[in-house]
Amino acid sequence: GESVGLHLPTLSVQEGDNSIINCAYSNSASDYFIWYKQESGKGPQFIIDIRSNMDKRQGQRVTVLLNKTVKHLSLQIAATQPGDSAVYFCAENRVNNNAGNMLTFGGGTRLMVKP
């Protein structure tokens, strides 16, 4: 079935190192992808997005890469800080005649930053 999933459930990095969180998707018709960060007890927070006509997009300390050939998405965080510790979700956003503009989330990756 259609799914958005993540390779690693937990990622532990040293403060100051770069982090890479990966995500695989199975629906080649996906149009738009978003990375969200969710801290304990809070709702998902938008980090960065990318449309299917792009392969790279950069934000402040974050970069998203999209490889449509292998249906793979990654989030790179530069100089990881303790405040980056959270669960990260990739989400697929596709206009669906039956379900409107729905997001399909993966199971999440927990990023732990060691001081």
Name the maximum alpha-carbon separation found in the chain.
Answer: 47
Q: E-strand spans in the chain?
A: 4-5, 10-14, 19-25, 32-38, 45-51, 56-58, 62-67, 72-77, 86-96, 100-105, 109-114
Q: How far apart are CA 57 and CA 75, in angstroms?
A: 10
50-109: which residues touch other proteins (CB under 8 A)? Answer: 51, 89, 91, 93-96, 98-108
Tallying the residues shown for the chain, one arrives at 115
Least Å distance, CB 68 to other proteins, is: 16
User: Cβ of residue 17: shortest distance to other proteins, in angstroms?
Assistant: 26
| Residues 18-57 within binding reach of other proteins (CB under 8 A) | 31-32, 34, 36, 41-46, 49, 51
Question: In this structure, are residues 10 and 109 in contact, taking their beta carbons and an 8 Å threshold?
Answer: yes
Q: Which is nearer to other proteins, 87 or 113 (CB)?
A: 87
Report, in Å, the least distance between residue 115 CB and other proteins. 25
Q: Which is nearer to other proteins, 80 or 104 (CB)?
A: 104
Residue numbers of the site for other proteins (CB under 8 A)? 31-32, 34, 36, 41-46, 49, 51, 89, 91, 93-96, 98-108
